[in-house]
Amino acid sequence: MSIRVVSCALLVSFLGLVGCAHLGARVQRGTLPSDAPKVSDILADLEENDAALRNFKAYGHFTVKAPSSAAVQQCTGVVQFRKPADLYVVGRGPLGAKVFEVRYADDRYTVTFDKQTWSGNWGDSVEGTTWQVAPREIAQEMFLPKTWIAAGKGKARLVEYDASQHKAVLLIGSEKRPLRRVEVTGPPWDVTKHELYDPETGEVTASTALGDYREKDGVRIPAFVEASFPKQETRLKFTMSRIDPNTELNDSLFTIEKQTFDENTSH
């Protein structure tokens, strides 16, 4: 596997953290135990923690499995994020050399690897690669704020609760065809898994598992994030060895020069 293919897989995967396992026996709506938590309390807890996070810098390991390669690819790197949706990711090879670099700001991205740069709008796939998952989809599922928390108000319902494990399952959207399934543990409530469904077919389009939550400066952040995209047969994981929330970040990391963007955008 060439470094070009490896870096391509990694950079697209981290622009931007499985199936439908249930928590014990399924409990139908209307038969939930009397001590089941209120949906409003769960969403309020999640929203409060999300609101407390302004930015973060995380160091760790990237792992990628995609149909373009039979082997699992790995890389060390750093993810830096600041609200509302600025993202910077850099990956390095075994000898510390920069393998790829990704910037996202103002709904645009630039990707650099193998001495070549691509630019585009956030929802577009990276031209010149075999990846079909748009950078925005991966970033939203793995790193960006959980905007669906606020969207769930009035549209979320509790469908499962396991008191012995302190686990609950929420469905967000219509009863006939929900848009998202969310597993949480608590209190305090933290997301351990969330799935995004295709609104037309009901199939899972993205599934993200989160774990090893660490609290620092009053913010709980998962040190383990793994996302899968079944249709694209793509799975990616970020295991963080160090997390610095609400820290000082370099503004230049999130700056995309107009000339660079125009020169490297496919028209």
Q: What are the contacts of 176-180 at 24+ separation with CB within 8 A? A: 177/202, 179/148, 180/148, 180/152
More confident residue, 12 or 61: 61
Lowest-pLDDT range of 30-39, 144-153, 239-248: 144-153
Q: Which residues of 24-58 are buried (b: 16+ CB within 10 A; e: fewer)?
A: eeebeeeeeeeeebebeebbebbbebbeebeebbb
More confident residue, 32 or 259: 32
Residue 49: per-residue pLDDT: 92
Q: Tell me the pLDDT tens digit for each residue of 125-169.
A: 555 544 456 666 777 777 765 667 766 677 899 999 999 999 999
Is the C-alpha dihedral spanning 209, 203, 122, 115 positive or negative? positive
Residue 28: per-residue pLDDT: 42
| Averaged pLDDT score across all residues of the chain | 79
**Residue 5 region, left (φ>0) first, then alpha (ψ -120 to 50), else beta?**
alpha
Measured CA to CA, the distance from residue 97 to residue 154 in angstroms comes to 49
Ordered structural domains, the chain, with CATH: 3-17+22-263 (2.50.20.10)
The answer on pLDDT for 19 being more than 60 is no
Residue 222: per-residue pLDDT: 94
Q: What are the contacts of 128-135 at 24+ separation with CB within 8 A? A: 129/8, 129/12, 130/8, 130/68, 131/8, 131/9, 131/12, 131/66, 131/68, 131/232, 131/234, 132/231, 132/232, 133/12, 133/13, 133/229, 133/232, 133/234, 135/12, 135/15, 135/16, 135/102, 135/104, 135/109
Q: Tell me the pLDDT tens digit for each residue of 87-124.
A: 898 888 888 888 778 888 888 888 777 677 878 776 66
Mean pLDDT of 61-84: 81
Q: Which residue has 């543990």 as its token pair? A: 185
Q: Does the predicted TM-score (pTM) go above 0.85?
A: no
